Amino acid sequence: MTAPAPGSPMWAGLRTWWTMLSICLEERLVYRGDFALGTLMRFLPIVTQVFLWTAVFAASSRTDIAGYSRNDIVAYYLLTMLTRAFSSMPGLAGGIARSVRDGSVKKYLVQPVDYVSFLLAARIAHKLVYYVVAALPFAGVFWVCRGYFPPPPDAATIAACVVSLLLSFLLGFFMEATLGMLGFWFMEVSSIVFGYMLVQYLLSGHMFPIDMLAGIPSGLPGTSVADVVHWLPFEYTAYFPAAVWLGKIRGMELARALAIEAGWVLVMVVACRIAWRRGTRRYSAFGG
């Protein structure tokens, strides 16, 4: 494959993307002090989780719960924090709905800048700055808690975990962006976003591993709640990459789960694009 020639549409598109990413990076770096403080605050609940699960296992006198030992649970929680750093999109849906409501979205209808692409570039910039700021605290916490982790997995498992993290970023972005597009039809979407966040928190595995739902019947013949949740997109924003690293998902089951995650990303990309196209067709803004 040859590189795109200067002046070609592909080259112009790449330059536009790089310009958007550079501008967004500069904006994020203005608030690097706030980023650093927010990053450090994220690690405070870790101590609580360690004490909580230590108390749970001490009270139950069991060595494992749903296949997770106490060390596995603590390692799982630390890994879900890493996953959430990829998949969480704070303020994205509300920001899109607000721009629709106050009319600021109209500039993207007259300028040669795709709104969804701009938002994606802004989130990539946000995550890059966050990772730079958070790399040292994350490394420190994982080093202190290294005794809770099993030996590192093989190269193939690490590669699958990295792919799942990248897909979780795209999935989290397009799910929240699609929610924000509902602002074209509703004046206020905060209640919808709150409901989504509640369901996402419960079913993503951020609160507890999805495996703990395996013994609960779903009401469908021969299936548990965990079986149903595995087909939904939520677990791929927290549970899945952590479970892959800990060796809870392997072989064909891992390949199938990655395919489902990639399928959900494609579905949400299409849904977001359809919502944007139909929303802008019915949109009207006046003044300024």
Across 259-273, average pLDDT: 95
Model pLDDT, residue 1: 47
- Does residue 36 register a pLDDT over 70? no
**Is the residue at 9 inside a domain?**
no
% of the chain at pLDDT higher than 70? 82
The answer to whether residue 8 is domain-embedded is no
Counting the structural domains of the chain, the total is 1
Residue 227's pLDDT is what?
A: 86
Nearest to 203 by CA among 177, 182, 175, 183: 175
Give the distance, in angstroms, between the CA of residue 3 and the centroid of all CA atoms in the same chain.
Answer: 32
Distance CA(169)–CA(148), nearest Å, equals 26
Each residue's pLDDT tens digit, 124-134:
887 887 777 77
Is 161 contained in some domain?
A: yes
How buried is 58 (Cβ within 10 angstroms: 0-12 exposed, 13-18 middle, 19+ buried)?
Answer: exposed
CB 205 within 8 A of CB 239: yes
Between 195 and 28, where is the model more confident?
195
* 66-85 average pLDDT score: 86
Q: Give the span between the Cα atoms of 104 and 115, in whole angstroms.
A: 11
Report the pLDDT value the prediction gives residue 162, as an integer from 0 to 100. 94
Identify the residue with better confidence: 68 or 166. Answer: 166
Residue 6 falls within a domain, yes or no? no
- The residue ranges of DSSP E strands in 82-213, in sequence order, are none
The arithmetic mean of pLDDT across residues 278-285, rounded, is 79
H/E stretch holding 99: helix 92-102
Residue with more model confidence, 152 or 284 = 152
Across 99-108, 236-245, 263-272, least confident range: 99-108
- Cα 179 from Cα 203, distance rounded (Å): 18
Please say if the pLDDT value at position 10 is more than 60: no
Q: Is residue 102 part of a domain?
A: yes
In this predicted structure, what is the pLDDT of residue 167?
95
Is 216 a member of any domain?
yes
Contact 206, 80 (CB under 8 A): yes
Do residues 68 and 252 make contact, with C-beta atoms less than 8 angstroms apart? no
Q: Is the pLDDT of residue 84 over 60?
A: yes
> What residues make up the domain containing 97?
15-282
pTM to 2 decimal places: 0.82
3-state helix, strand, coil in the chain (%, to 5): 75, 0, 25
Looking at residue 56, its pLDDT comes to 80
Residue 9 confidence (pLDDT)? 56
Closest by alpha carbon to 207, among 245, 234, 169? 234
**Average pLDDT over every residue of 16-20:** 61
Instruction: Identify the H or E element spanning 98.
Output: helix 92-102
pLDDT of res. 258: 95
Across the range 158-169, mean pLDDT stands at: 94
The better pLDDT of the pair 234, 47 is held by: 234
